[in-house]
Structure 1
Amino acid sequence: MAAIEAQRTPTMISLSRHGLVQHPSHSDRNGVRKGAYVFIEEHSADVTLIGTGSEMFFAVDTRTELAAIGVKARVVSFPCQRLFEEQTLEYKEEVMRYSTSKPIVVIEAYAVNGWERYADAGYSMRMFGKSLPPEEEVYSFFGFQADVIARSVKQLLDDVEVSGIKSLRGGFRDLNNGPMGHGFEPL
C-alpha cells in the first residue's frame, strides 16, 4: 500500500519468482509502512540480524542456528530504506538498537551498497554471473546457507568480544568471502 499510495517519490515493487517461506505470525503491515520493524524480538540479544525481501528466511534460519550454539539474535525486517529514513530517531533506535554494544548484521543476497549506513557487517554478494537451476543451488554456490552464515556471525561476535564494538563502528565488515572461498563448508 505504501508503494501504491506514494505520490512524491518513484516506486518499485520487487517480486520473487520462486516460492518463499512465509512467517505471517511475525509480519507486520504497519512495520512495513515504516520501512523496517522488529520481526522477532530478543531482549537480551547478542546480535541483530537484518533480513531483506526474499532472503528474510535466511535471517530467521540463521537465528535458529545461532540459538543452537548459545547465541541470542533478534531479527529486523527491513524492506525499504527510504521509508525507514522518514521515521523518528526514537523509532529508529527502537528497531535497530544503535546505542547498544551489540553488532548489527544485514543478510542480503545482493550487493551490500547502502547497508553500511545501518549495519556493522553484512553477509552479501560480491559477484554475479552464475546461473544454476534451483535457487537452493544458487544460494549454496554463493555461501547462502543458514549454518554457514551463523558461523560467520559467530566469528564476528568472537572478534567483537576481543576487540570491542568500536572495532566495527565507522567501518563495515563483509562476512561472505564469496563463492567457493567462503571458508566454511555446509554441515
Structure 2
Amino acid sequence: MRRERLGVIPLNGFWSFKRDPEGVGSEEGFHEGFEAEYQLAVPASWNEQVPELMNYMGVAWYARRFTAPKAFEGLKAWLVFEGVNYKAEVWLNGRYLGAHEGGFTSFRLEAPVECDSENLLVVKVDNTLTPRSVPPGRGLHGFEGPYFDFFHYGGIHRPVRVEFTGPSWVEELAVIAHADGRLEARVRIGG
C-alpha cells in the first residue's frame, strides 16, 4: 500500500541531457546544472531517441526544473523514480540526496523541495557494464568482453514524480490469512 499522498507533481516530459563519457561531470559541477546536448523524453531510454545514442554505454546526466505550489509548503516531499538503468545519483538544487543501483526497481528519496520557487533536479545515470554490476558475460577464459544476450539500454526509463505527504503515513500494510482462519494485520508507519 502506498502512503497517502497529499499532492503529486509528475516530472515526465522533456529533460536536458548530456553524455559524460570521460566521467568528469561530478568534478565540473554538472549537479548544479549543465549545458544540454539534447532534450530527451522521460520516461524512455536514451538509446531509442537519438540515433547516435543507440549504442552509448556509460555516464550521462539529466536535468529538469519544476515548481511546487505554495499549498504544499510544510509537507514532506519525496522524489519517486520508478526505474533508472542502471545506477542513479540524485541532486536537488545542488544538494546530494542519494543513490540507487538496479534498473528495474523503484526508489524514493526525501527531498527538500522549495515551494513557490524553481527547483533544479539533476540525475547522473551510469549504465556501464562491469563484472560487479550488470555482468557482461563470462567466457571459458574468464571475463572476455561485453558479450550478453540482451539490449543494454540506459536512462530514466520509467516515470518520475514528486509526492507530498504529511509528517507520518502508512508505509506498508499487509493482511495475512492463516490456515486456522485467523487474520493478522501488519502495519508499518513512516515518519
Query: What is the TM-score when the length of structure 1 is the normalising length?
Result: 0.27
Q: Could you say which structure has the higher strand fraction?
A: 2
> Between Structure 1 and Structure 2, whose CA radius of gyration is higher?
2
Considering Cα pairs closer than 8 Å and 6+ residues apart, tell me whether 1 or 2 has the greater RCO: 2
Q: Could you say which structure has the higher helix fraction?
A: 1
